[in-house]
Chains A and B, each alone.
Chain A
Amino acid sequence: KAGVTQTPRYLIKTRGQQVTLSCSPISGHRSVSWYQQTPGQGLQFLFEYFSETQRNKGNFPGRFSGRQFSNSRSEMNVSTLELGDSALYLCASSSGTGTLGQYFGPGTRLTVT
């Protein structure tokens, strides 16, 4: 099976702009989760989508949003970018039932200047 893919891999944006990141999960996986990873905060959970519905949400401001399509592909959007949003954004897919772990993509490296 093909792994989790994320596009783009690298992105440079300016403060105040918005950005959309994309994630294609492993075929058959219905759960897609998004995480932010920074050197200071580690891996922080953003949200999880399951069958097109947001099932869980982390403690991030409303500027961070996402959605999932009927084919399980997911997008994450960050509006009004701040310097502190510079991070590696990781997408992970899983079966959604908890019996197995998550399979991560390579991440999108976002730099906000």
Chain B
Amino acid sequence: EVQLVESGGGLVKPGGSLRLSCAASGFTFSSYSMNWVRQAPGKGLEWVSSISSSSSYIYYADSVKGRFTISRDNAKNSLYLQMNSLRAEDTAVYYCARGVSGSYPEWFDPWGQGTLVTVSS
């Protein structure tokens, strides 16, 4: 069974940093692109970042470019999101989602259950 489990969320002050992790199992992690998508409380889905299977291609939403860094460790079947200079508007549930093979994001399936990040003083 394909499983994605996010961790690392929590409460952080504005300007602070946080590192999210996503542990993958049940599939050949190194063959798939991976993605982060967030959802602010009561709001819709917002794509954050994507990384290709070999880390050759990385994409960011304009809202996080220069502040967030996506990375992966294929040996550990893990995806990461380093978040710096956090703002109140970054408060959201962050989902890890599997992509498809290839150099750019297409659809996302499946998704993890998400981890909540709250940015507040």
Same assembly: no
